[in-house]
Structure 1
Amino acid sequence: MDERSAGTGRRAPRIRAAAALAAVALGAAACGGATGGTQEAGGVEELELQMASFLSPTTAQGQAITWWMEQLEERTGGRVTVEPFWDASLLGAEEVRDGVRDGRVELGNMTYAYTPSDFPITSMVEVPFLGDNIGAQIRALNSLYQSDQAFRGEWEEKQGIKVLSFIGIPPALTGAKEPVTTVDWYRGRTVRASGFFVRALEAVGGNPAAIPVPETYEAMRTGTIEAYGGLILDVITPLSLHEVGGQIHDPGLGHYANSTWTMSMDSWESLSPELRAIIEELNAEFPEQLLIAAERTEDEACTTILESGGSATIFSAEQTQIWRDAIGDAPMRAWMDKAATAGVADPAALYEQFRSIYQEAETGEYADYRSGIERCASR
């Protein structure tokens, strides 16, 4: 049976077998006095991994992951390579999680948002108004993953997934045919929305519409919706949404989700200590690569939007406060209930730890960060 036709058949044994064969080859080469590249990578096994992503390699996430894969090959002397499957060509956005954990692929770029009930603790990122600093979000999530057993267990023990790095998501933006500067504009309007943005719209009298991202352009063109929300800057232009709704604005809600760069636990546990060490080095460098890529892709998207007659604006603090008052503490209470049900002894303390790490990074290591929409609005 073909290993992919097996559906949920695990592929990690293939990795272990490859590692065993590599070890035999190394031993044979040593006994025969042979010299060559087999030992130059510090005994790292020879592997071919496969990766699935629902995103394009041209996105910021795609560029950072491409860097990671290329560096893995370089730092292992070519002994470990990755075959990527982009644009949902192998697994759709809602399938990547299962594809990683059941071994159809070893690596995956996924988001918990397609299966939120399986990640109640991780959904803390949906609590609004934390901020818009993606470096700080990555630092807080990665730190919590290392220090909090319940949070790490949600991924490793319950899902069978090793988090290589969390991926920060910039603020949720909205695009319309006309400039939007007040919360009142949403009242009675039909707006494409998903996740937390659905509840945020309802809180100010908007009508959320569950339009899939690929269908958003047509919905805007035909007037089925009057605006689209819950999208980030460097996703708007590849979808050509600036052509039908180029007046982009940030209402100030902050982060609304996150993505994750992952490996199956079976695959991770089958790797040699030498290869794990190389991967951990790459994981530590990954956030900086994402920030570099995000700045590049966001600025390119901004140029496209502005040159096509669009605009980029940010709600005033007063308007954002109106939205904050309308939403209240319902998102926090909802998350705390889910976290408690998931076994978190003190959800409030866990969130405060998350917020504390975030704010420390926001005012420290990532104090110079400016979101793409902020940079675009200043132009």
Structure 2
Amino acid sequence: MTMRTRGAGTRSGWARRLRLAAVATALALSAAACGGSAGEGGSGDEVVQLQMASFLSPSTAQGQAISWWIDELEKRTQGRVKVETFWDASLLGAQEVRDGVRDGRVELGNVSYAYTPSDFPLTSIVEVPFLGDNIGAQMEALNSLYANDEAFRSEWENQGLKVLSFIGVPPALTGAKERVTTVDWYRGKTVRASGYFVKALEAVGGNPAAIPVPETYEAMRTGTVQAYGGLILDVITPLSLHEVGGHIHDPGLGHYANSTWVISTETWNSLSPELQKIINELNAEFPDQLIKAAERTEDEACTKILESGGSASIFSPEQTQIWREAIGDTPMKEWVEKARKAGVADPEAMYAQFKNTYDAAKTGKYADYKSGIARCAARSQ
């Protein structure tokens, strides 16, 4: 028998409970399969089917890492657990995935907290700039904070979401029609921006423009903006932005966001300890898979940028320091205030824990990591 879902938004509570009960038997069925062929024991054809929604394409680095996780789950449970995937916002839009997972329309999803920032004040810790550019270290720091800090973990689990792994996001890059090597270039320029990059631009005399990502190409083509910012390397080429702003640079602001791979807590709690163990093993391997995928997609993007006549560069430490001094400690103060309002008694200690874990991972486990823009800049010379 194959347990299947009905369309999103039409499932009854009874259907959901039935499916969760089926999930709870998955490991037992998997273990039975290990002892014989699929048809032995009369339960070899039992399949538990989950649903996953993503607003991303499976060709992105995040999409490739999530696809690996799903394929491995099916493999390590001998096909007893299968996941039906809905990519490219075909089932739920980017703003809907969080609610879709927690209310039972899907069991799995990748969530961007940035669409509902007021619900994730602690997770916005990633918006404090100048931490670094090591996505492995970012994932290590966030996953460690989730595992060891009750307040941080509760921010997700109180919303019905169990974090499988945080997903690192590389540094925010800027693209223009000419090479940019100094902070002064931004003064008086209109730049597509979002998130904390808006305030960063304002700090150095730039004019941020809140232009949606899909409209950025036309804005660059017509000269509405002189540059685009807040995007990562392997997003630039799918949007063809290298054709209208092929000189890409990293101003040194560092990480600016993250994404999160989640399962509903209701589904997670229904699983047997053995199946949870399999999933936790996959979660531990997930960051390395993301890094491998990012290397592939970033290098492909770099090739397209350079072959189109573009370039890649990184601001000198002196130029980044100018920007750091212009921004000051405002982002940290704003995060600390949000954390206090969320009930954290000592936000500074939480950030120190986060940064210490990041730094340890950057110099230890992920010491060999090199960002996509750094690799591309080396090729651009």
With the length of structure 1 as denominator, give the TM-score of the two structures.
Answer: 0.93
1:253 is matched with 253
2:301 and 2:115 map into 1 onto residues whose CA distance is: 26
The structure-2 alpha-carbon separation of the partners of 1:322 and 1:56, relative to structure 1 and needing over 3 Å to count, comes to same
User: Does residue 122 of structure 1 match 2:123?
Assistant: yes
User: Which residue identity is paired with 1:4?
Assistant: A
Provide the C-alpha distance between the structure 1 equivalents of 2:378 and 2:165, rounded to a whole number of angstroms. Answer: 31
Check if 1:234 corresponds to 2:224: no
Q: Give the equivalent residue in structure 2 for 1:50.
A: 51
Q: What's the CA shift for 1:286?
A: 0.4
- Aligned partners of 1:323, 1:95: CA distance in 2, in Å? 35
In structure 1, distance between residues paired with 2:235 and 2:45 = 37
Query: 1:189 matched to which residue of 2?
Result: 189
Does the 8 A contact of 2:25 with 2:272 survive in 1? no
- Write the mapping of 1:70-219 to structure 2, written as runs, cut at 5 A: 70-157=71-158, 159-219=159-219
Give the aligned partner of residue 8 of structure 2.
4
The one-letter amino acid of 2:355's match is R
Other structure's SS at 1:373 match:
helix
Are 2:273 and 1:273 equivalent residues in the alignment?
yes
Map 1:322-337 onto structure 2 (within 5 A).
322-337=322-337
Following superposition, the deviation at residue 4 of structure 1 comes to 2.5
Determine the C-alpha separation between the residues in 1 that align with 2:12 and 2:251.
42
Total equivalences in the alignment: 372
C-alpha spacing 1:21/1:72, structure 2 compared with 1 (3 Å): closer
CA contact (8 A) 1:176 1:245 kept: yes
Seen in structure 2, the aligned counterparts of structure 1 residues 38 and 162 have a Cα distance that, compared at 3 Å, is farther
Determine if the alignment matches structure 1 residue 356 to structure 2 residue 350: no
Are the structure 2 counterparts of residues 181 and 24 from structure 1 closer, same or farther at C-alpha, using a change threshold of 3 Å? Answer: closer
Distance 1:10 1:377 in 2: 55
Residue 365 of structure 2 is matched in structure 1 by 365
Counterpart-to-counterpart distance in 2, 1:268 and 1:324:
42
How far apart, CA to CA, are the structure 1 residues paired with 2:86 and 2:45? Answer: 24
SS in structure 1 at match of 2:178: coil
Give the % identical residues: 73
Aligned to 1:16: 20
Alignment correspondent of 1:314: 314
Deviation at 1:354? 0.3
Counterpart residue type for residue 238 of structure 1: P
Change (3 A) 1:11 1:294: farther
CA contact (8 A) 1:9 1:104 kept: no
Question: How far apart are the structure 2 equivalents of 1:244 and 1:105?
Answer: 38
SS of equivalent residue, structure 1 residue 150: helix
Change (3 A) 1:179 1:101: same
Tell me the distance in 2 between the aligned counterparts of 1:242 and 1:302: 10
Distance 1:98 1:129 in 2: 31
**CA distance in 2 between partners of 1:232 and 1:315 (Å):** 16
8 Å CA contact retained: 2:26, 2:81? no
Per-residue CA deviations over 1:210-234 (Å, capped at 9, x if unaligned) read 1111111111111111111000000
Letter in 1 for 2:160: G
Q: Partner amino acid for 1:299?
A: D
Structure 2 counterpart of 1:376: 376
1:334-371, CA deviations, whole angstroms, 9 ceiling, x for partnerless residues? 00000010011100000000000000000001111110
**Superposed displacement of residue 2, structure 1:** 5.8
Task: Go from structure 1 to structure 2 and tell me whether the alpha carbon gap of 1:44 and 1:378 turns closer, same or farther (over 3 Å shift).
Answer: farther
Equivalent position SS for 1:54:
coil
CA contact (8 A) 1:12 1:270 kept: no
Give the 3 Å change call, closer, same or farther, for CA 274–377 of structure 1 in structure 2.
same
Q: Supply the AA of the counterpart residue of 2:97.
A: V
Amino acid at match of 2:9: S
Q: Kindly tell me: are residues 268 and 45 of structure 1, through their superposed partners in 2, closer, same or farther at Cα, counting changes over 3 Å? A: farther
CA offsets 1:114-170 (integer angstroms, 9 cap, x no match): 11110000000000000000000000000110000000000002x110000000000
* Cα offset, 1:19, TM superposition: 4.1
Residues 264 and 205 (structure 1 numbering): CA distance in 2 closer, same or farther, change over 3 Å? same
Residue 263 of structure 1 aligns with an amino acid whose one-letter code is I
Q: Is the 8 A contact 2:168 2:258 kept in 1?
A: yes
For 2:343, the equivalent position in structure 1 comes to: 343
CA offset digits 1:147-198 (Å, max 9, x no partner): 00000000002x1100000000000000011111111111111111111111
The residue type paired with residue 304 of structure 1 is K
C-alpha distance in 2, partners of 1:107/1:139?
Answer: 21
> After superposition, what is the alpha-carbon deviation per residue over 1:83-141, rounded to whole angstroms, capped at 9, x for unaligned?
11111111111111111111111110111011111000000000000000000000000
CA contact 1:188–1:207 (8 Å) conserved in 2? yes
1:11–1:104 contact (8 Å) kept in structure 2: no
Unaligned runs of 5+ in 1: none
**Normalising by the residue count of structure 2, what TM-score does the alignment of the two structures yield?**
0.92
Q: C-alpha displacement at 1:327, in angstroms?
A: 0.3
Contact between 2:101 and 2:107, CA under 8 Å: does it hold in 1? yes
Structure 2: 5+ residue runs without aligned partners? none
Q: Secondary structure at the match of 2:105?
A: coil
Q: Against the structure 1 CA distance between its residues 44 and 102, is the aligned structure 2 distance closer, same or farther, given a 3 Å change threshold?
A: farther
